[in-house]
Amino acid sequence: MEVAVRVVQAACTLCQRVQGSLLHPASGAGGVHSKLDRSPVTVADWGVQAIVSWLLSDCFQDENISIVAEEDDETLSSRDGAAFLEYVVDAVNGCLIEAPRYGLRSPEKELKAHDILQAIRRCNSTGGPEGRFWVLDPVDGTLGFVRGDQYAVALALIEDGEVVLGVLGCPNYPMKKEWLNYHQRYYRLMSKVSPPTSGSWHKGCVMYAHRGCGQTWMQPLVHDVGKLDWRNSREVRVSTVSDPVSATFCEPVEKANSSHSFTAGLAHSVGLRKQPLRVYSMVKYAAIARGDAEIFMKFARAGYKEKIWDHAAGVVIIQEAGGVITDAGGRPLDFSRGVFLEGLDRGIVACSGPLLHHRIVDAVDASWNSSTL
């Protein structure tokens, strides 16, 4: 757990630098590349994957460490990807040289392009029901990342099909939950008008939990406070709200990722009255674990398969904070069947407590046949 938190801290610093460059193109960050499925990928996606792969291998002295991760090296290895690869190499080395700030070891010499490609390529595990492997989403919510909004670095460890620990780095997550309702550009503007007091950490955090410990912890980003200090960690718990009228529910920003019309109908049927909080990435899971929201619902279009890296870290973080997360049939999410959440019943429901969870699951049963999903 300690290694995983340190590694995610380092990865978040790289993301912050790349996102800052993307928002100020003159500084150069390699831009945004479109994958075959038209989803975006950036220097940060490849850079984080390389950093996490290298650091985990170095910390555990295991060059064959097993990692399931989202990105591959195909684009970077191509002629068209040469410019992107240069940006990735620079970003990775610029971050790794500061590894001692996180209590990690820097490489003895700068990594070359072939070292970076090898580190990315090592993340080729396909998961499964046996053994131990890491699961990484280097930049969960890349669309939010390129828009200057919410995103997360998600790292989990799975043993024999069960998620045993999860770490979520949320570099743009404001410490005041009210700020989640505002676009990050507005938030940054207001932060300049009224800057935080000296020595405080006002946005950005890393959350982490280990299965069975009954606790979820949160600490500020090293980028904000200078050096990793475990004394800055604090325990977080889910909200105690159980009345739907007072509950806040989250859902994905993009309609392509979830049916907003179906979740709106469910919300109305169970008595939810607040406007939905639409947030990119697993920051939604962090919001529930920290008590900033009570419900997350996602019902993807027919044919879409959920990937394990989009949920593994968030699941254990919510559960250990006191929350409940299952598929829409009330069954635990199954991380033992490869890179996809195979056998998922309709969708995913996460709640701060069992009362709200039961109401949502019952409402799904009552409404499903009339849906177009």
Helix (H), strand (E) counts: the chain: 12, 14
110 annotated as ligand-binding: no
137 annotated as ligand-binding: yes
Give CA–CA dist 230/203, Å, rounded: 17
Catalytic residue among 13, 42, 45, 216: 45
142: annotated active-site residue: yes
Catalytic residue among 13, 42, 58, 142: 142
The answer to whether the CB of 142 falls within 8 A of the CB of 40 is yes
Closest by Cα among 242, 240, 261, 243 to 251: 261
**Token pair belonging to 165:** 């620990």
The answer to whether the CB of 325 falls within 8 A of the CB of 318 is yes
Q: Produce one character per residue of 5-18: b if its CB has 16 or more CB atoms within 10 Å, e if not.
A: bbbbbbbbbbbbbb
235 annotated as ligand-binding: no
Closest by Cα among 371, 369, 373 to 302: 373
The sign of the torsion formed by the CA atoms of 83, 84, 87, 93 equals: negative
73 annotated as ligand-binding: no
62: annotated active-site residue: no
DSSP string, 147-176: TTS--EEEEEEEETTEEEEEEEEEEEEESS
Taking only Cα atoms into account, the Rg of the chain, rounded to an integer number of angstroms, comes to 20
Q: Which residues are annotated as a binding site?
A: 70, 137, 140, 310
**Catalytic machinery residues:** 45, 142
Q: Which residues are annotated as a binding site for Mg(2+)?
A: 70, 137, 140, 310
